[in-house]
Chain A
């Protein structure tokens, strides 16, 4: 298959999940069940959109570093810090030597795996970003901290590999913000993957100056880099050409910074630009970054368009496709289903319609849960 489609990781959380998690009267069992339901739902949504390699949407993670610093030894929290506007996160402080306590993502992966027959991508925040987005009260410098964190993340990756995870994406958004540190940041990546076989390793980097990553980034012993391109009008593809990049590329073709839905032709244009630099078998197709800040209906529709663009390009490359005019760019995704699913409040509130569209076994229980949550309860069918 050419141009396999995937996601970066995060997906918008359903409103009923957020309500349940913030409800002081909800029991821990109810919250756990809501999380399970949410994972099933977002995986199913990705399947409906046609995504080949879904993730669990990071439903169980509050924030990409906080989730890990809460579970790695040596960290403490001293209060929320602001990232922008009135958005805060609990930035951890390292107050002792960091150490691995117990698996952090294994249960998450196993649950996702049993919720789909598709290959699952497991995103994990990388050691450099955890180090950079933490206060360092203990280590002499950031490099020393990041190398110790690499050993911790490596243990987690080993745990994941043991239970069958075969596509792990190391998220390193901080890596492009300190050009002078990229050379040793790559060392930490290599420490994470050292000696682990049977796993495809991707690295996701966003929000920064990609030129600063080169040439050191080419020394990373990983299979794929998933990078944002749409937000930069695909200009950075020139960098790949300049440095004779020959790894797989997770090509970002969906802008996650605004809610405008790309057209199929725009997606195809992005893939076409990448084909000027890389052979088709090296190109995976994904959004620029995680989708969690988008409205859920927008995220779904963006994925659907992304998949359609990839499939049409595949058909054209294989000689089976025919050129479409731009007027066709937002037509039905799959045999007329589009008309039924436009509007989308059903994804949060209307389980019966959801069941109707999805059909098949395995979804009935899910639809029951959603119905119960939409009435503020969490009950299992008898």
Chain B
């Protein structure tokens, strides 16, 4: 059977963005309204994990950094090849904050939380193709004891330069979490064997960016959990649930398989992100009855 996971982040609705920009007093009310709307949409779709959408995070780079102190915002920088930008964190001495305020927004047990991995944090902040050990230590301290799904985003791993010490850095992340290493925007097949070797419970793969994804998964095996990024987070076109299920069922699964977005829904229009959530639910339902 094929399960379904939500995007690790959802687009900030325009009204909330405007309220934040104008520092209006209704920010908290709007945030509660939209989080509740998103949670309902995921529950209705019977998704296997639920996220609050991380609506207050400007992006995963600054969002992850916001769990720490000892950094400041730098230049506006393009996020890979998207027309979407983040402020490059310039770190001094990173220190962990508490995760409690974040988890209060996600009190449910099957929550999905996300952070940037230590290699991508380094690449996207200082540009160094190396594990940022300060970040790895600090962010794993923040996450210590976290229970639930944890998507560790490492898109920079697909740009070349797979670091030998990533394995050791990922060992620091909490064993209490169901850890998925998430890669996207480029073909993962060239580094798939190395990904399989990492100390995480599963891989979250951007199948849309890799024409060889089916062959790779069939021939080289799978982790205990595989999240197939088959829902396009960079296009508004809605997928046909039957096509998605057919693709997901074709890999001779050896573990748990989930359909998922290939990335966060950050740059979709908010209404479309909810429609895509319904598509995820439709895939899961069809899988249950087939």
Flag if A82 contacts B17 (CB, 8 Å).
yes
**Inter-chain residue pair count (beta carbon < 8 A):** 63
Question: A133 to chain B: which residues have CB within 8 Å?
Answer: 83
Bound complex: CA A88 to CA B267 (Å): 10
Q: Which of A84, A91, A93, A137 contacts B58, CB < 8 Å? A: A84
Interface centre among A82, A86, A132, A135 (most CB of B within 10 A): A82
Flag if B11 contacts A82 (CB, 8 Å).
yes
Interface centre among A78, A79, A207, A257 (most CB of B within 10 A): A79
B123 CB to nearest chain A CB (Å): 15
Flag if B83 contacts A137 (CB, 8 Å).
no
Interface centre among A81, A83, A88, A91 (most CB of B within 10 A): A81
Convert B31-64 into 0s and 1s, putting 1 for each residue whose CB lies closer than 8 angstroms to a CB of A: 0000000000000000000000000001100000
Question: A207 to chain B: which residues have CB within 8 Å?
Answer: 78
Question: A80 to chain B: which residues have CB within 8 Å?
Answer: 14, 269
Bound complex: CA A137 to CA B276 (Å): 14
Flag if A82 contacts B12 (CB, 8 Å).
yes
CB-based nearest A residue for B85: A84
A239 CB to nearest chain B CB (Å): 19
Flag if B236 contacts A137 (CB, 8 Å).
yes
Q: Which of B18, B86, B87, B268 contacts A81, CB < 8 Å? A: B268
Question: A208 to chain B: which residues have CB within 8 Å?
Answer: 78
CB-based nearest B residue for A76: B236
| Interface set, chain A 98-148, CB cutoff 8 A to B | 132-133, 135-137
Flag if B85 contacts A79 (CB, 8 Å).
no
Q: Which of A78, A83, A84 contacts B236, CB < 8 Å? A: A78
B155 CB to nearest chain A CB (Å): 15
Question: B59 to chain A: which residues have CB within 8 Å?
Answer: 84
Bound complex: CA A136 to CA B11 (Å): 19
Flag if B271 contacts A79 (CB, 8 Å).
yes
B21 at the interface (CB under 8 A from A): yes
Flag if A257 contacts B75 (CB, 8 Å).
yes
Question: A174 to chain B: which residues have CB within 8 Å?
Answer: 83
Convert B253-268 into 0s and 1s, putting 1 for each residue whose CB lies closer than 8 angstroms to a CB of A: 0000000000000111
| Interface set, chain A 36-59, CB cutoff 8 A to B | none
A132-B83 contact given A79-B270, A81-B267, CB 8 Å threshold: yes
| Interface set, chain B 65-81, CB cutoff 8 A to A | 75-76, 78, 81
A85 at the interface (CB under 8 A from B): yes
CB-based nearest B residue for A90: B269
Flag if A86 contacts B20 (CB, 8 Å).
yes
A178 at the interface (CB under 8 A from B): yes
A159 at the interface (CB under 8 A from B): no
A83-B84 contact given A78-B271, A137-B236, CB 8 Å threshold: yes
Flag if A84 contacts B76 (CB, 8 Å).
yes
CB-based nearest A residue for B84: A83
Question: A78 to chain B: which residues have CB within 8 Å?
Answer: 236, 269, 271-272
B235 at the interface (CB under 8 A from A): yes
Flag if A83 contacts B85 (CB, 8 Å).
yes
Question: B78 to chain A: which residues have CB within 8 Å?
Answer: 177, 207-208
Convert B150-180 into 0s and 1s, putting 1 for each residue whose CB lies closer than 8 angstroms to a CB of A: 0000000000000000000000000000000
Q: Which of B75, B235, B236, B266 contacts A82, CB < 8 Å? A: B266
Offer 10 A-B interface pairs, CB within 8 angstroms, sorted by A: A82-B11, A82-B12, A83-B84, A85-B21, A86-B12, A86-B21, A135-B236, A137-B235, A177-B81, A257-B75
Write the residues of chain B forming the contact surface with A, with a CB cutoff of 8 angstroms. Answer: 11-12, 14, 17-18, 20-21, 58-59, 75-76, 78, 81, 83-87, 235-237, 266-272
Task: A88-B14, A178-B81 given; name 16 further pairs at CB < 8 Å.
Answer: A79-B14, A80-B14, A81-B268, A82-B11, A83-B83, A83-B84, A84-B76, A84-B85, A85-B21, A85-B58, A86-B17, A86-B21, A91-B267, A132-B83, A135-B237, A177-B81
